[in-house]
Amino acid sequence: MKITFLGTTCTQPTPSRNHSGILIEIDGDAILLDCGEGIQRQLRVAKKRITKIKHICVSHWHGDHCLGLPGLLSSMASDQISHKVQIYGPEKSKLFLSHMLQGFYSHGVCEHDCSEHEQGTLFKSRMYSVSAHKLVHSVPSIGFKITVYKQRKIIKDLLESKRVPTTLWGKLQQGETVKFDGKMYRPEQYTVQDDPLILCYIADTIMGDHLYTFCEDADIIISESTFLHEHVEKAKEVYHMTSQQAAMVAHHVNAKRLILTHPSLRYKNTKRLLEEAQVIFPNTMFAEDFTEVNIE
């Protein structure tokens, strides 16, 4: 899995930070988490093919997380993509997207579907699944959990003792039940599988117990961290988090890595935000535009 940060700022773009957008590449698929203004340019700068994006997950409909959608969908149409793009978001997503696409002259946008969610699985493949989790923000907002399943390992000695042909082992390894010599062989009996890798994306939200539930099994947390904790009352007022709060979540759920993003424009750099988080959760980094993280 590769994570590419395409935009990492809050509210307004800066000379070094674009509006929100994160590209997840996994199992041959490309998933876009949020699509702020300018994201299609960021994709090209990062040398990512927009035609590979199949799923766009919009956390909420504040402009810094969604205004890049019309341009991206128009460019996808120009590039004549061969698949339908699936767009997922919270309540009123269909209404807001419809209004956006009616607001300008266009030669057309790519074929797409838009669905609304609060909780539950959005889509899945043999190798991973993506689910939505309700957040608490000034507008309807959801976070996204990506669960990557580890490849099953064959229990070779057991299969050999049962004389199961090696031609069937691959199906067991892919999680399929196979039939041999009149008997059924189930993958949970003849393979072992390590715990999945779980990535949680905390988009704009206020601090609360809902985050501990959302990130309970997370290995990697990507979190908004708009404010320093000295501005915690301001964070609460505008339904955002501090870097210290994000670190508290990561520490509480025993995550392996925390990646911060979405700093307020009031800070000239992210040094203090990062240091504040690292006091509580040392394995923290602050994403810049075009930061890439490879997960084995």
Residue 261 burial by Cβ neighbours in a 10 Å radius (0-12, 13-18, 19+): buried
Q: What's the pLDDT score for residue 106? A: 76
Q: Residue 108's CB: how many other CB atoms inside 10 A?
A: 10
Q: Are strands 197-202 and 220-224 parallel, antiparallel or unpaired?
A: parallel
136-159 burial string, b = 16+ CB within 10 Å, else e? ebeebbbbbbbbbbeebebeeeeb
pTM score, whole prediction = 0.91
Q: What is the CA radius of gyration of the chain?
A: 21
Q: What's the pLDDT score for residue 208? A: 96
Tens of pLDDT, residue by residue, the chain (296 residues) = 999 999 999 999 999 999 999 999 998 999 999 999 999 999 999 999 999 999 999 999 999 999 999 999 999 999 999 999 999 999 999 999 999 999 888 778 999 999 999 999 999 998 899 999 999 999 999 999 999 998 888 889 989 898 999 999 888 888 889 999 889 999 888 998 788 999 999 999 999 999 999 999 999 999 999 999 999 999 999 999 999 999 999 999 999 999 999 999 999 999 999 999 999 999 999 999 999 999 97
State how far the Cα of 213 lies from the Cα of 191, in Å rounded to an integer. Answer: 30
Q: Residue 77's CB: how many other CB atoms inside 10 A?
A: 17
Among candidate residues 27, 29, 34, 64, the one labeled active-site is 64
Identify whether 181 is a catalytic site residue: no
Whether 130 contacts 143, CB under 8 Å = no
The dihedral sign for the CA sequence 134, 135, 136, 138:
negative
Q: What's the pLDDT score for residue 27? A: 87
State how far the Cα of 12 lies from the Cα of 48, in Å rounded to an integer. Answer: 23
Q: Domain spanning 2-150+194-294: which CATH class is it, in words?
A: alpha beta
Q: What's the pLDDT score for residue 76? A: 95
Q: What's the pLDDT score for residue 162? A: 87
- Within 13 Å of residue 270, how many CA atoms lie on the same side as its CB? 26
Residue 273 burial by Cβ neighbours in a 10 Å radius (0-12, 13-18, 19+): buried
Whether 217 contacts 198, CB under 8 Å = yes
Q: Show me where the domains of the chain are located.
A: 2-150+194-294, 153-190
Q: What's the pLDDT score for residue 296? A: 77
